Structure 1
């Protein structure tokens, strides 16, 4: 049976929730005053919506039922990463002088295989898709190369599915951590990812249908780029001519993050270059 017919929102959501619990800390050093401020403002925003829009009991009960389903489907990571994370990312990265960041999304898994440039991401023997040579250089804000920088990359396959979140895909398919050379250069051989819809057979899909929205994300590469003494940057890179660049459901596209691949000089597929500029790490 194909991945397309066996992947479900509930299974994907459960995987996202499990991996969040395994790899993210839920602890934060936040004072009672800060919690009071944030919680009170969030609650007030909901109350203001209720009073201003004259929310009925039927609508209120529908909301409760939907919130329960979000938890049952394990879709809180998906919901938060699609509709909320972009604003958190903008606040977190507003100080940067270097490369632009954007959301991590719910499909990140740490510990991908370490590969040295020039590298080829792990893939199936019959992996579908157009070959892509993704290359560039990692420097600091002064333009100095960062030897041995890590370019961690993951992306969906040609059908729009991620390894470890859909069945039938090898564990580290299209995932890797590529080590740049002594001049900060990296080369990664992979495939052009496909645009995809976020899972629509669960609670998030129910919201999308009820609101008359679409569920599409433009095709993109996910990246985390790091070097000692510098701030890690989490970002996504998109592709020109994608019809959902202007209406990405996750609101994560920025003009600086759009690539324009050309025919590869090898004659096989496409190639594109993108340089990463890392900010110095903030003093502790």
Structure 2
């Protein structure tokens, strides 16, 4: 996929550009994955989904005008490339809940549409790639990766990515360096890591596209709380995908994506050097 990088200001980011990037990234991932489709399973899920839609139409006596508005909106979602955004914001949290309900280790949550694989590999203590004089409050995010039995996981990978102080993600908004605020930190022999970065900002999901039209029509807000995205992995253990939030932050209580869980809320303290904040959060991985 062509990197989404230009020299224009980040403020010019649009839903269409972000949606196109997210769609292309998803298509690339799907091409690499071998789909094993069970016909009976598809029959069951598709039939019940359609039956649920039919029930809604009957119960609410949906009119042709409303039906045509829905058709037009669905077409526009595709043209805007916003299906990944729509599904990740309003559907994925339930899929994640069911997929990981039997974990004994850490709770996870949704991946979201802005993950990019193969971020720069960094040592156990590292500063994420960022611009010179990157705006935002400095943050030291540190912890340990262990197995459920407490065994430290030597060389565990902590993939981390997050929005900048304006709420934008590199490779999904113009004007940002390719790997800005993205990296894969390799824990030491005791599973320890220290990541120096900046605190991300809360942000609205794109509102100038079809998802924004749904939000406006329904009278909803479009805000996600500030969060760190993570994928934590080690050989022989299940991949953990998580987002970590900041206690007291805006929209922690009413995240539009319904992805916040109590176990995922951080309590940052004043950094030891007096510059910014620091927080310790440990990851416990289940056996594969």
Per the normalisation by structure 1, the TM-score is 0.97
Q: Any runs of at least 4 consecutive aligned residues in structure 1 with deviations exceeding 4 A, and if so which?
A: none
Alignment match of 2:182 (pick from 160, 175, 178)? 175
Contact 1:145 1:183 in 2 (8 A): yes
Q: Deviations over 1:50-95 (max 9, x none)?
A: 0000000000000000000000000000000000000000011001
Asked if residue 18 in structure 1 is aligned to residue 28 in structure 2, the reply is no
Distance 1:33 1:164 in 2: 39
For residue 268 of structure 1, what is the aligned residue in structure 2? 275
Pairwise CA distance, 1:27? 4.8
Asked if residue 85 in structure 1 is aligned to residue 85 in structure 2, the reply is no
Equivalent position SS for 1:19: helix
Alignment match of 1:242 (pick from 246, 249, 253)? 249
Asked if residue 232 in structure 1 is aligned to residue 242 in structure 2, the reply is no
Asked if residue 213 in structure 1 is aligned to residue 220 in structure 2, the reply is yes
- What is the root-mean-square deviation of aligned Cα atoms in Å? 0.9
Equivalent position SS for 1:144: coil
For residue 7 of structure 1, what is the aligned residue in structure 2? 13
Please show how residues 1-284 of structure 1 align to structure 2 within 5 Å: 2-4=9-11, 6-25=12-31, 27-281=34-288
Pairwise CA distance, 1:268? 1.0
Contact 1:23 1:110 in 2 (8 A): no
Aligned residues: 280
Contact 1:264 1:270 in 2 (8 A): yes
Equivalent position SS for 1:64: helix
Distance 2:28 2:133 in 1: 31
Structure 2 stretches lacking a partner, 5+ long: 1-7
Q: Deviations over 1:135-172 (max 9, x none)?
A: 00000001110010000000000000000000000000
Distance 2:17 2:175 in 1: 13
Distance 1:243 1:127 in 2: 22
Equivalent position SS for 2:145: strand
Contact 2:202 2:250 in 1 (8 A): no
Structure 1 stretches lacking a partner, 5+ long: none
